Structure 1
Amino acid sequence: MKTYYAKPSEVEREWFVIDATDQVLGRVAAKAAMILKGKHKPTYTPHIDTGDFVIIVNADKIKVTGTKAANKEYYRHSGHPGGLKKETFTEAMEKHPERVIEHAVKGMLPKNTLGRKQGLKLKVYVGPDHPHQAQKPREIKIEEL
C-alpha cells in the first residue's frame, strides 16, 4: 500500500459560494479555510495546494457572538513611531466588512508561501452579487449546531 500524494497538475478546482447572512464569523471563516486548504477532498496533500475557490457574499451581514462587537479590536501599524491604529469590530464592519472576513480566514491558513497562495483563492463581496457566475459556483450551507 503506497501513500497517495496529489501532484499540482492533477488538481481540479471547483468554486463554492458561502452566504454570510446572519452567520457567525468564526464558523464561516473555518469552513472557508477548510475548503481553501482542500481538506474536504480525499486527495488532500498537506504540501500541495489542493484547495478550491471560495466566494463569500453578504459580508456586511455577518455577526459575532457575545460582546465581541464592542470588545474585539483590529490593530495595524504604519511602521512609524506612534503609528499604531486600532478599531473595534463594529467600526471595521462600517468601513470595510470584506476585510474583517479576509482577516479571520487568513488567520486560519498556514503562515508560509503555501498559505499565501491559498489565500488568493478567497473572494469576499459586500452585497449578494459577485462577478464569478461564469465559473458556476456551488452553494455551501453552514450547518447550525
Structure 2
Amino acid sequence: MTAYKRVQQWNTFARVWHLYDATWQNPFESAQRIMKYLKGLHKPIYHPLNDCGDHVVVINSGEIALLGDEWRKRVYFHHTGYPGGATWTLAWELHDKDPTMIMKKAVYNVMDGNLQRRYTMQRLHIYPDDDVPEKIKQNITNQIRQLRPVPKRLDRYAPEEVQRFPKVMDWPKNYILR
C-alpha cells in the first residue's frame, strides 16, 4: 500500500469534529441533521453495525426556538426508578434548569432503535453559549449549516444602514408621535 493510499484510508476512518450553531433553530429539526453526523450517515463507509460517526459540538443551545406554544405545552417525562418517582416537566422549566437538556433529549429521541445510541451520544458536546473549551475548539474542522438563517436584530444595524434603507412612506409634517 502506497503512502498516499494509507493516508487516504486514515482520513476515511478518522473521526471529524463538526460545529453546529443552534441559535434560533428548532431543536427537533436540528436533531435530524446532527444525528446524521453522529452516526456517520454522511460517510461512504457507513454501515449500521459499523461505528464510524463523528463528534458534534453544539453551541448556543440556550437560544433555541420552539414553534408556537411548545414552550408552555411540551412536557418531558423523567422517572427515577423508585415507586412514585415519575415527574413531568414543562419545556420552559427544563430549559431554565439546564439549557442543554432539550437539545440533548431531541437528539437522543431521534436515534430511537439504535443499539449504539448510548455510545453515540458520548460524541455529542452541547454548550449553552459560545464558550467552548480551548481543547475542543482545536479539534473542530467543519461547520454544519444551520437549517434557517438567523435574522439580524434592528438594534444591531449601524445608524447609517438604517438611514440608507428605502422608506416605505414619509410621515406628514403635522403628525404627532406619542
The two structures share one fold, judged by TM-score above 0.5: yes
TM-score of Structure 1 vs Structure 2, range by shorter chain: 0.7 to 0.9
Alignment of 1:1-145 (within 5 A): 11-111=13-113, 113-131=115-133, 132-144=136-148
- Report the Cα offset of residue 80 of structure 1: 2.4
Q: Which has the higher contact order (CA 8 A, sep 6+)?
A: 1
- The code of the aligned residue for 2:51 comes to D
Distance 2:84 2:118 in 1: 29
Offset at residue 99 of structure 1 (A): 1.4
Q: TM-score, normalised by structure 2?
A: 0.71
Change (3 A) 1:76 1:14: same
Identical pairs, percent: 29
CA distance in 1, matches of 2:64, 2:147: 15
Kept in 2: contact 1:109–1:119 (CA 8 A):
no
Which stretches in structure 2 are left out of the alignment for 5+ residues? 1-11, 150-178
| Residue aligning to 1:4 | none
- Deviation string for 1:76-106 (max 9, x for gaps)? 1122222211111111111101111111101
Residue 39 of structure 1 contacts residue 51 of structure 1 at CA under 8 Å; is this kept in 2?
yes
| SS, match of residue 81 in structure 2 | coil
Instruction: Report if the CA contact (8 A) 2:25-2:148 is conserved.
Output: no
Shift in Å at residue 110 of structure 1? 4.6
Q: Deviations over 1:14-36 (max 9, x none)?
A: 00010000011112111111110
- Which shows bigger deviation, 34-43 or 76-85? 76-85
Distance 2:139 2:105 in 1: 25
Aligned residues, how many?
137
Query: Which structure is larger by alpha-carbon Rg, 1 or 2?
Result: 2
**Once the 2 structures are TM-superposed, how far is the Cα of residue 124 of structure 1 from its aligned partner?**
0.3
Give the structure-1-normalised TM-score. 0.86
Give the aligned CA root-mean-square deviation in angstroms. Answer: 1.9
